[in-house]
Amino acid sequence: MPDTAYRSETYFKGVERIAFEGPDSENPLAYRYYDKDRVVLGKRMEDHLRFAVCYWHSFCWDGVDVFGQGTFKRPWLAGAMNREAAAAKMAVAFEFLEKLGAPFFCFHDVDVMAQAETLKEHASHFAEAVDGLEAHMARSKVKVLWGTANLFSHPRFAAGAATNPDPDVFAFAATQVRLCLEATKRLGGANYVLWGGREGYDTLLNTDLKRELDQLGRFLALAVEHKHKIGFSGPLLIEPKPHEPTKHQYDFDTASVYGFLLRYGLEKDVKVNIEANHATLAGHSFEHEIALADSLGILGSIDINRGDPQNGWDTDQFPNDPSEMVMTLYRLIKAGGFTTGGFNFDAKVRRQSIDPIDMFHGHVGGVDALARGLLGAAALIENGKLDEFVAARYAGWDKDAGKKIFAKDATLAGIADAALKANVAPKPVSGRQEYLENLVNRFV
């Protein structure tokens, strides 16, 4: 039986609300950079970062890995996830959110509810959990950054949710998405996320690729239709990931998601939720994925974490690399900052970090890493040299030579004739990479 004797305010004994104490503080449970009301580039830090705690890693995972049992011994995870255990988990979650001073959280439907055996039971247990969330949110003022349906943990989804060979699995998943989208709207959530963990294949030998892509396009189109029908104003966000758990996932990276959206005519309604560790698994830098999403006009939100340079899976560690954080915040600010999105800590403490207090160390450090990145990025922008350099590098495109190429009546032959006539002889110009790297390092 789960131990449900504890209640809100009692699991993280001795932890007070985390306060800003400045860079010289020796207190490990204080923010050294995150000063939520401090105005940076005309906006409060809290409004720049819009950070969220994710329900799943912090409150649903007991430290299990593929070789070993849970190590954390969270009391609410000790037995069956029944209604009492789900309620106890929720009380602990909100105690944590409030003490951390988190403005947002993110959740999967199954994270917040009692375990269900049937679809009908899913609907009723989830409804009860949403009532609970609503009450906790009203009291604490913590908001939903996004909700999502878990369409990957249960064995029924082993061969995919939308892309399953069995249409009943599609219908089951569609029901979950309908309920979770409606709940996210009711809770005032800012976005709705779809991560296709099982929407891919383990072997092409048993896979009809064309059908599966059409099924996924259909699923997404139906979700868009329902979003409009119920008047959910936030965007739908696809979270790209190249593989893990499947060998190949269809929403591989930002570029492939964009191609998919264009093919199914969904590019106006759907954006991306970019995750740092997923970018690196796809062979990109995190900065690349943000810059590309911005240039395609589909940057929605960010799952902030980091991988491990020596291994190739989604380790979901808390971000802590100052230079990566400066460039992340720089790209975000250049993209105009978040509108509905935010930084969701899709991150978990290590399996040996067994004390409840370790959850605070992880999140406090992560928030501070972002805040420090924000200050560095703001200083880099105020310095102006990086932006000036890039603008100067492309300046020719704003002059005659560039404008003529983009003129409506321009042809390849016309451009070639003019080039021949002028006998154009372009001179190589230094890219100044080392100079720029040194410049950025001054703000890390």
* Residues with catalytic roles: 108, 111
What would the two tokens of residue 309 be? 């340079």
Which of 314, 328, 333, 375 lies at the binding interface for ligand XLS (CB under 6 A)?
314
Give the whole-angstrom CA distance, residue 291 versus residue 345: 20
Cross-strand bridge partners of residue 275:
303
Residue given tokens 């048993």 in the structure block: 206
Using CB under 6 A as the binding rule, the residues of this chain from 90 to 109 that contact ligand XLS are 108
Q: Smallest gap, in angstroms, from Cβ of residue 281 to Ni ion? A: 9
Give the whole-angstrom CA distance, residue 31 versus residue 76: 29
Give the whole-angstrom CA distance, residue 132 versus residue 129: 5
End-to-end CA distance of the chain: 50
By rule CB under 6 A, what string of x and - marks binding of each residue 31-70 to ligand XLS? ----------------------------------------
Which of 148, 163, 191, 215 lies at the binding interface for ligand XLS (CB under 6 A)?
148
Give 92 or 149: the residue with its C-beta nearer to ligand XLS. 149
Residues 8 and 92: beta-carbon distance below 8 Å: yes
For 220, 301, 338, 420, the CA distances from 240, given in Å and listed in that order, are: 14, 12, 18, 45
Which of 241, 271, 288, 348 lies at the binding interface for ligand XLS (CB under 6 A)?
241
- Burial pattern 303-329, b for ≥16 Cβ within 10 A else e, equals bbbbbeeeeeebebbbbeeeebbbbbb
Residues 281 and 247: beta-carbon distance below 8 Å: no
Query: Is residue 251 a contact point for ligand XLS (CB under 6 A)?
Result: no
Which of 51, 55, 157, 195 lies at the binding interface for ligand XLS (CB under 6 A)?
195
Query: Is residue 314 a contact point for Ni ion (CB under 5 A)?
Result: yes
Beta pairing, strands 30-31 & 19-20? parallel
Q: Smallest gap, in angstroms, from Cβ of residue 168 to ligand XLS? A: 22
Closest CA to 170 of 222, 120, 210: 222
User: 155 in helix, strand or coil?
Assistant: helix
289 binds, among Ni ion, ligand XLS, none (CB under 5 to 8 A by kind): none
Using CB under 5 A as the binding rule, the residues of this chain from 330 to 389 that contact Ni ion are 346
Which of 199, 275, 324, 368 lies at the binding interface for ligand XLS (CB under 6 A)?
275
Stretch that binds Ni ion, among 44-52, 245-253, 270-278, 324-332 (CB under 5 A): 270-278
By rule CB under 6 A, what string of x and - marks binding of each residue 322-361 to ligand XLS? ------------------------x---------------
Which of 111, 303, 324, 368 lies at the binding interface for ligand XLS (CB under 6 A)?
303
Q: Smallest gap, in angstroms, from Cβ of residue 195 to ligand XLS? A: 4
Query: Is residue 239 a contact point for ligand XLS (CB under 6 A)?
Result: yes
Helix axes 209-230 and 254-263, enclosed angle (nearest 10): 80
Which of 35, 212, 275, 289 lies at the binding interface for Ni ion (CB under 5 A)?
275
Counting residues that bind ligand XLS (by CB under 6 A) gives 9
Give 251 or 275: the residue with its C-beta nearer to Ni ion. 275
**Sign, Cα dihedral of 335, 337, 338, 344:** positive
Query: Within 10 Å of residue 379's Cβ, how many Cβ atoms?
Result: 15
Residues 6 or more apart whose Cβ sits within 8 Å of residue 138: none
Give 248 or 334: the residue with its C-beta nearer to ligand XLS. 248
CA 20 to chain centre: 25
Residue given tokens 């703001």 in the structure block: 378
Query: Is residue 306 a contact point for ligand XLS (CB under 6 A)?
Result: no
Q: Smallest gap, in angstroms, from Cβ of residue 286 to ligand XLS? A: 13
Give 164 or 305: the residue with its C-beta nearer to ligand XLS. 305
Cross-strand bridge partners of residue 51:
343
Give 55 or 264: the residue with its C-beta nearer to ligand XLS. 55
CA 251 to chain centre: 14
148 binds, among ligand XLS, Ni ion, none (CB under 5 to 8 A by kind): ligand XLS
Residues that bind ligand XLS (CB under 6 A): 108, 148, 195, 239, 241, 275, 303, 314, 346
What does the binding site for Ni ion look like in residue numbers (CB under 5 A)? 275, 303, 314, 346
